[in-house]
Each structure stands twice: as structure tokens, then as C-alpha cells.
Structure 1
């Protein structure tokens, strides 16, 4: 009931990268950026992503696209991009070694081909504004960073995906106190799969993806390890600079994403109880119980709506998304319970067609 009341104590203090000015320098003075994309069955989005990278104003750029055992036309699209653009390289992966998540393995293999001073890990469904990378490089140079991650906008036609994304990053911004990420003395860290720009030598120093090869949240782990090793890190909103197109294209995919992280019964039970008490009950409590309880529930609900409203100013999401908060809780509950049940029946968590040992896998 008090979720919103507590959350309202926090404010969104994370900056927008879109407000930065782009520097104009010659290619010889710019560090080379190696963009690495892991693509598994991404025929719907991949070409659009690569084309947006080819339109970058930042000139010293190479793009490495890794085909991670795709069964659709992803391989054909990669070959087309390689033939169309001299700075695009393709890599084909046929088998997944033991104790590796598919995406982590693909990014790690791609990093072996990288020639850049910096590596940008991103996803195949990302769209980049032409100035995005130039602005990011300007920012890391000005602030002497080792790692920069951007929170993307969420665009496309699937409205449930937008609601879920708004909840995830609104919660991270408030409870995660992301404005503390840049503080070397603070424990807060973040890594977002849409945009993880890391200095190459730092990536190698933390052990590359091989150091967390069997972790479902590879992007967050990357950020966590960089911060733990004492390197300088920051997070910004990628407002109108980087966007995810239809993060999940159906409710089934959305629920499946929850299963990826919640695949053990203890975690599923905790998720269920937490969602019921903090995300659903306050809305029901508006109409039940004594006046004092209704007032507290009202404060909680208004606080949640206010937080979504503030987040919308950065993400471009709907100002009214706060009213979807209880529905998102239902997605989390169903995903958690379903994930634990399916993992117990299959002996592992299944993600993108691959089943991973639930006893060894870490979320």
C-alpha cells in the first residue's frame, strides 16, 4: 500500500543525452567504435537497426552482426548488409557451448573481431538517431567515463510492451536511484541491453562476457561488474536518440521475458506476494476498509501515477500509463508462476528456443 508513498520521495534526476551538442571533428581524431549486435531470429527488425547505424554522423564506426543460430532470414539479411556497407561485418554461430547464454556468447564472439577503442553492445531491435553515437562519445569524453548506458524510448504498435517498459524503467529510475550511478562511492549501477558503451580495455579487464556467461541479465551484470571494479560509469535517458521498436510483440512474449528472470518457485512466490501487496492492493483498497486505509491507498495510487507522469517526460511514453500499474503486476505474477512451473517440468528455463539448466543458471 505504501509503495507509491515511498517512491514519491524520489525524483527523476537522470539527464537526457538528447540535450547534448554533437562535436564536429575529423575521423582521425575520433576513437573507433565497434558496435556489436547479437541477432537470433531478428528478420523483422535487424535491417532497420543496421541502416540506422549506417546513418550515424559519427564516422569512425564498425558494425559486427552476429547471427546466433537463427532459423529465419536473419542470415540473409546480414549478408545483404555486409555486401551493402564496407564497415559491416557478419559472423555466423552454429553451436552454443555449455554454460553459456546465447546472447552473451554471441556478443563475446563478436568482441573478438572488434577493432575499436570502444565497444557498443546493442540489440537487433534498436533504432538510432543519426546523432546518437556522436553525442554519447562527446559525453564520455567530457566526463572521462569508462562506461555509458542509455535508457531507450519504447516505440511501436504493441501497447502492452510500452506499459511494461514504462514500469521497468520508471521503477529503476526511482527505487534504483540511478542518479547515483555516476558516483564512484555509490553502489548503484546499471547496464541496458539497448546501449552499453564500454571502453574496450575495461571490458577485457572485467573478464568480458565470459565472466558472467550463464547469467540471464547479462546487460545489468556488465554494468554491475564495471562499477564494482571501480571504473567510472553513468546512465542517461536516450530521449529521441535511441529507441526499441516493439520490445515484445505480444503478451506471450512479454510474459516469457518475466520467465527468463523468475524461474524458481521461491522467487515466483516473492514476486507474486510483492505484486499483490504493493501494486494491486492499493487500487482495491480505494474502495474497501476504513477511511484512513482508503486515504493511504489513495496517496499510494496518486504517487504511482505521478511517477509515471514524470518518467513520461523523458521516455515519450503515455502520461496516463500509471493507471496500467495493476495490469503490469498481473503480467509479472503470471510470468513468475508460469516460469517456475515450466522450469520445474523441463528442468530448465527456455528462452528463444534454448533450454538452460535452472540449477546452474543465475538471474
Structure 2
């Protein structure tokens, strides 16, 4: 049985590796793009809740952009700390900044999605940039992104930032997440105009305002905790021209401060990413165990055929891991050597998030509880 399973595994690894190699080769780096000095007005929309530790540094890095035709709309989403006050202070320092304070969340909306939608309604620009309150930008990031956007006549552009992390196990966990997300969602297919597969990374989503309005705005994903991914997927599926790029030296975010924070942070969208289906939870757990853990055990089998097939699956793991990590991050491929252990951590993360979702009857995000029934109804 294991022999057949691992033979099938070799075929799967070969398909994934060829697909990833082809897709990643066509993945552009935003750093190589020229700067756009003058062009359409850009409206940057930042939704924040309780981000007093990060928001000032992030906005100040944005205000230093070389691209000049920019306005900022900072949306305070029911913060209980000093986030709103910091936004007001930033507004006083720079007339390009507008601030809106949200005190109540309408029924049928997730908080962040409603905040981004609210900000978009205030935007005067022809291009909208949805970004998070903890992203640090290099001065030429906007200029390069807009040049790329206009040169390719896009409706939607998303960029992968550098995911900064501290600590060995957190870095290895994030690296494994990148690998898993990449071969499960195949984000590079967003660059294929013949494909209906799209993607979105919440750190940086640049859209043509006209296309965003035609599509139906964030109202179309108002109850999705993975709003960024869903926005990109749905817009691509409906024919809007899309691309994904990397911007590893132009944008940086500390995704999570610790491994514990990563487990907590993934509570909100793990089950959503598996389409709210228990079958998908079991399928993902089975796939992770068989694909990323079992071969590292059976390689020590006295059955030479099984040991050889296990070695082949480990090599397939390694090739795909290195391809994705070297292209999509600044992490060292050496984290591959603890891959089975980080796979166990990821299994724990999926189980924990799924069980908590069922126990609570929904998810907790930005201080608000959303019932699972309500989330499913808005699918």
C-alpha cells in the first residue's frame, strides 16, 4: 500500500515541480521595474484596528514615496487603543491624509472588509491600493508598482512582501506555510491570461477603481476572512486582468511576532481556506502527513523499494521547497532540514483552528465573533 502511495507521490511531485518551475520563472520582481514619475492619482486605503504599535511607522514610510500623486485614507475600525488618535495626528501633519472613524459594524460584514469598503467610497483616485497597517515601504515601491500596473494595463496587481520573522521555529513555520500555500493555490497562475486562477495578498492589492466598482467592491467578499485571496480569485475568474509580483526588498511585514501568535492569527481563515468543509480538513491533514512526514520515517525501512521511494519523495519535497522559498521569500532553504517537524506544527495549527471554529460556532476576528452559519450563508 505504501509502495503504491509513494509511487503516486513521485508522479505528483514531478507535476508540481514542473508547474512551479514554469510559473515561478514568469514571476516578475518589482525591484527591476522603472519608476513612474507622473500618472493617475493613487488612493491608499489602510484599515486598522488596535495597531498603535505599527501604524505610525508604516504610514511614515508611505509618506516618503517618490510617487507624488497620492492620497491616504486611514480607516479606524473600532479601535480600543491609540490607533485613532495616531491617525488624527498624522492627518494634521500631512494634508494628503484623510481619516474616518468607524464606531459600529453593520450586520452582514466582517470588520476589515467593511473598513476597506468604507475607505474606497471616499477615494478620489483612479487607482486604489489596499494595504495593511504594519507594512514598511521603501521610497520607490509605489512608483515601481504603478509603472508595472500601467505598462501591463492591469485591473488588479498583488505583490508578495518580505515576511520578516524572529526565531528559528517561527521562520521555519512561515517557510512551510509559503510552500503549502503555493502548491495548493498555485498563485503564479494569476499571471496566465488563459487561466481562471487568481490570487491576492492583503499586504498589497492595487486595483483600477473602475474595475473594482464594476466587480462589486468588497461587498462581494464582505463575510470572507480571507478577503484578499477571495477578491483576487473572484476578479480573475470574471475576466479582470491580473498579475502577481514579488517585492521582497521594497515591502516588509512582520507577519507574526511569535509562533504562538501565528497559531492564533491563523484561527480566523484556516477553515475558510478549506472552504468550510470537514472533508477538506481531513484531506489536508492526510496530504501533509503522507507528503511531508511519512517519507522521513519510512526511509529507514528495511524494505529497499520502500526506502528508495521514500528517498525520491524527500527529494521531490526538497526541490519544490527550494524553488518556492528562494523565489517567494528571503528565508534560507536550509529550513527544509526540519520540514517534517514544521509539518507537525502545521497539522497542529489546522486542527487547532478547525476545532476552535467548531467549539465557538464561528471565528473571532478583530474583537468580533462571527457565527459559522453566517459565514457560510454569504458564500
Task: With the length of structure 1 as denominator, give the TM-score of the two structures.
Answer: 0.91
Q: Secondary structure at the match of 2:374?
A: coil
State the 1:340 CA deviation.
2.8
2:303 to 290, 294, 312: 290
Q: What root-mean-square deviation, in Å, do the aligned CA atoms of Structure 1 and Structure 2 show?
A: 2.1
In the alignment, does 2:82 pair up with 1:79? no
1:157 to 151, 163, 166: 166
Per-residue deviation, residues 97-153 of structure 1 (Å, max 9, x unmatched): 222111111111111111110101111111111111111111111111111111111
**Corresponding pairs, count:** 358
Q: What residue is the counterpart of 1:240 in the other structure?
A: 249
In the alignment, does 2:360 pair up with 1:360? no
Quickly say closer, same or farther: Cα 1:172–1:187, change in 2 above 3 A.
farther
Distance 1:156 1:170 in 2: 16
Does the CA-based 8 Å contact 2:55-2:133 persist in structure 1? yes
Distance 2:186 2:220 in 1: 26
Distance 1:290 1:99 in 2: 57
Does the CA-based 8 Å contact 1:163-1:324 persist in structure 2? yes
Listed as ranges, the gaps of 5+ residues in structure 2 are 1-5
Distance 2:269 2:138 in 1: 30
Does the CA-based 8 Å contact 2:179-2:324 persist in structure 1? yes
Q: What residue is the counterpart of 1:20 in the other structure?
A: 33
Distance 1:159 1:170 in 2: 17
Per-residue deviation, residues 27-63 of structure 1 (Å, max 9, x unmatched): xxx1011111111111221111101101111111111
Where do residues 268-287 of structure 1 align in structure 2 (5 Å cutoff)? 268-287=281-300
State the 1:208 CA deviation.
0.6
State the 1:177 CA deviation.
4.0
Q: What residue is the counterpart of 1:141 in the other structure?
A: 150
Q: What residue is the counterpart of 1:305 in the other structure?
A: 318
Distance 2:362 2:181 in 1: 28
Q: What residue is the counterpart of 2:193 in the other structure?
A: 184
Q: Secondary structure at the match of 2:223?
A: coil
Q: Secondary structure at the match of 2:289?
A: helix
Distance 1:175 1:270 in 2: 12
State the 1:96 CA deviation.
1.5
Instruction: Looking at secondary structure, tell me which structure has more helix per residue.
Output: 2
Q: Secondary structure at the match of 1:41?
A: coil
Does the CA-based 8 Å contact 1:4-1:301 persist in structure 2? no
Does the CA-based 8 Å contact 2:292-2:317 persist in structure 1? no
Quickly say closer, same or farther: Cα 1:108–1:184, change in 2 above 3 A.
same
Task: With the length of structure 2 as denominator, give the TM-score of the two structures.
Answer: 0.88
When structure 1 is superposed on structure 2, of 86-95 and 341-350 the one drifting more is 341-350
Listed as ranges, the gaps of 5+ residues in structure 1 are none
Does the CA-based 8 Å contact 1:262-1:268 persist in structure 2? no
Quickly say closer, same or farther: Cα 1:94–1:158, change in 2 above 3 A.
farther
2:109 to 85, 90, 100: 100
Distance 2:48 2:170 in 1: 20
Quickly say closer, same or farther: Cα 1:256–1:267, change in 2 above 3 A.
farther
Quickly say closer, same or farther: Cα 1:75–1:343, change in 2 above 3 A.
same
Per-residue deviation, residues 146-174 of structure 1 (Å, max 9, x unmatched): 11111111114254443333333334445
Does the CA-based 8 Å contact 1:7-1:303 persist in structure 2? no
Per-residue deviation, residues 4-47 of structure 1 (Å, max 9, x unmatched): 4443223122111111122334xxxx101111111111122111
1:63 to 69, 72, 79: 72
State the 1:175 CA deviation.
5.1
In the alignment, does 2:344 pair up with 1:330? yes
Q: What residue is the counterpart of 1:167 in the other structure?
A: 176
Q: What residue is the counterpart of 2:353 in the other structure?
A: 339
Does the CA-based 8 Å contact 1:33-1:62 persist in structure 2? yes
